[in-house]
Structure 1
Amino acid sequence: MNGTVQGALGRLAVAVALLASGATGLAHAQDRVAKSNDPQTQTAVADYNAGNLGAALSEFHQAAVRGSRLAQFNYAMMLLNGEGTAVNVDEGKKWLRKAADANMSHAQYVYGKMYDDGEFVARDPVEAHRWFLKAAQQGHVQAQLALANQFLDGRGTERDNKQAFVWYKKAAQGGDMTAQYVTGSFYERGGDGVDRNLNVARAYYAAAAAQGDPAARLKYQQLSAQLRDQKEVKPQ
């Protein structure tokens, strides 16, 4: 396997684990994202977590053929990562697309990220935007953040700070630390259709700080002091 492909697989693995909440193992991570009532998919998840990769691969494939979105996604990722088999990019992309077309939001996000990063495919921010939007509209937090970044940068779509704020705020409300910080900065400065509100800005900074963002903690402290000073200055 060449270095470029290894790098691509590594980044996809990170993307897959984003919603795992600390869970280990790709299949188990995705079971948290999109639960399946299909017995064979559940068996495949158990085999994957037990390290029985060959059995898991076969079971995911059988369930994927029957239409299980979770099985399609996990089968795709095992093929792309070369788990239990040799790397098979073409088949991996095919099954990932099936899961995305079946409206699995995390598959849509990962498929969009593939185009945004230019991994396994030619970089195409417009195509990435299309898939991020599909996933974001279903409430996928990482897709909402990715979409907001695209609107802010004008990548894959027209630059639109108002739309960027809409999606940053949704991602912030979904608990994303980066989006909480950026949403706080929108409220701190105002503009782009956002009314300046230091109290609301401080609340978003506090949320990000609680998740360990040192810059947000500093902003929270600064705004707290500023609001306290404003309160203490009374008109004569």
Structure 2
Amino acid sequence: MSYTLTRTESLGDDEVRARLKGDPLEASRTILAAAREGVVEAQTLLGQILLDGHGIERDPALARTWFRIAAERGDSMARNMLGRCLEQGWGGPVEPEAAAGHYRQAAASGLDWAMYNYAGMLATGRGVARDQGQALALYRRAAELGHAKSMNLVGRYYEEGITVEAHPEVAYAWYRRSAEGGDFRGQFSHAAVLAARGEVDAAIHWLQRALEGGNLNFLRVGRVSLAEAGEPRIRALALAYHQRAAELGDDSDRQALAAYAGA
């Protein structure tokens, strides 16, 4: 039997989380009811499912509204996600300056994802003056909190000597931590280090892990890099990256697969 919430029911955070484990439609109803009752965590979750279209019709504009409501009530993740909407143009115009402001506020509260996102704005100069030193400091803070994507970027700063003296061994240690933390870009970076050291089996392991978790943009870049690898066993993985990109992507990815497979 399904359970439908009425508007008069009041749910706590633990109850909301417990009911999210079931059917997506029922979960979305639970979240909607709790959000209307003023449960801040539910308001943030509602914004996310509206953004994703999970169990409910996708509505980025309404997602942005709910993120704003929860952010104004002090939810740092909601403020971070409001920043994402403003940065990416989800549900409204692109507003990089406003996005950077929201990231900065959420980062100041200690949220690692906001530190990562604000660092990205600082590193590229979008919505805020470019400041690689501050970007690295934020990536490091997030990394020390266990944020795997930030670990990979700290590694890049040390490998390339961006605002710090280049230190390959420090970079490689961060890549390894990022890989072990589950970031697919960190896994790819770690694999590159292992391949350069001649540890081909270990490199292939991490490249396969990255393939499993990587998004489309990553796969598009990775397939090109792998196709240029000197080691034949690593170069062979380019086909798997092309195939996965073709599954996730568009006609251009399927054409790229056909061209690569036929070469």
Q: Could you say which TM-score interval applies, normalised by the shorter chain? A: 0.5 to 0.7
Contact 1:118 1:124 in 2 (8 A): yes
**Cα distance between partner residues in 1 of 2:130 and 2:177:** 27
Aligned to 2:128: 157
Q: Using a 3 Å threshold, how does the CA distance of structure 1 residues 177 and 91 change in structure 2: closer, same or farther?
A: closer
Q: Using a 3 Å threshold, how does the CA distance of structure 1 residues 62 and 149 change in structure 2: closer, same or farther?
A: closer
* Residue 56 (1) aligns with residue 40 (2): no
Aligned to 1:207: 177
SS in 1 for 2:74: coil
Question: What percent of counterpart residues are identical?
Answer: 23
**Cα distance between partner residues in 1 of 2:49 and 2:31:** 7
Aligned to 1:173: 144
Match of 1:125 among 82, 87, 96: 96
Q: Using a 3 Å threshold, how does the CA distance of structure 1 residues 164 and 220 change in structure 2: closer, same or farther?
A: farther
Q: For residue 191 of structure 1, report the CA deviation from its aligned partner.
A: 4.9
Where in structure 1 are there 5+ consecutive unaligned residues? 1-37, 226-236
Q: Using a 3 Å threshold, how does the CA distance of structure 1 residues 150 and 50 change in structure 2: closer, same or farther?
A: same
Where in structure 2 are there 5+ consecutive unaligned residues? 1-9, 200-263
RMSD over aligned CA atoms reads: 3.1
Q: Using a 3 Å threshold, how does the CA distance of structure 1 residues 217 and 121 change in structure 2: closer, same or farther?
A: same
Which residue identity is paired with 2:140?
K
**Count of aligned positions:** 184
Contact 1:205 1:220 in 2 (8 A): no
Aligned to 1:135: 106
TM-score (norm 2): 0.58
Q: For residue 45 of structure 1, report the CA deviation from its aligned partner.
A: 3.5
Contact 1:208 1:217 in 2 (8 A): no
Q: For residue 222 of structure 1, report the CA deviation from its aligned partner.
A: 4.8
Q: For residue 142 of structure 1, report the CA deviation from its aligned partner.
A: 2.1
Aligned to 2:165: 195
* Residue 42 (1) aligns with residue 29 (2): no
Q: For residue 122 of structure 1, report the CA deviation from its aligned partner.
A: 0.2
* Residue 217 (1) aligns with residue 187 (2): no
Which residue identity is paired with 2:21?
N
Q: For residue 49 of structure 1, report the CA deviation from its aligned partner.
A: 2.7
**Cα distance between partner residues in 2 of 1:191 and 1:92:** 37
Aligned to 1:232: none
Q: For residue 154 of structure 1, report the CA deviation from its aligned partner.
A: 0.7
Q: Choose between structure 1 and 2 for higher RCO, CA contacts under 8 A separated by at least 6 residues.
A: 1
TM-score (norm 1): 0.64
Q: Using a 3 Å threshold, how does the CA distance of structure 1 residues 121 and 187 change in structure 2: closer, same or farther?
A: same
SS in 2 for 1:49: coil
Which residue identity is paired with 1:155?
R
Q: Using a 3 Å threshold, how does the CA distance of structure 1 residues 60 and 81 change in structure 2: closer, same or farther?
A: farther
Q: Using a 3 Å threshold, how does the CA distance of structure 1 residues 223 and 133 change in structure 2: closer, same or farther?
A: farther
Match of 1:147 among 96, 101, 118: 118
Which residue identity is paired with 2:170?
V
Q: Using a 3 Å threshold, how does the CA distance of structure 1 residues 133 and 43 change in structure 2: closer, same or farther?
A: same
**Cα distance between partner residues in 2 of 1:222 and 1:145:** 28
Q: For residue 135 of structure 1, report the CA deviation from its aligned partner.
A: 1.6
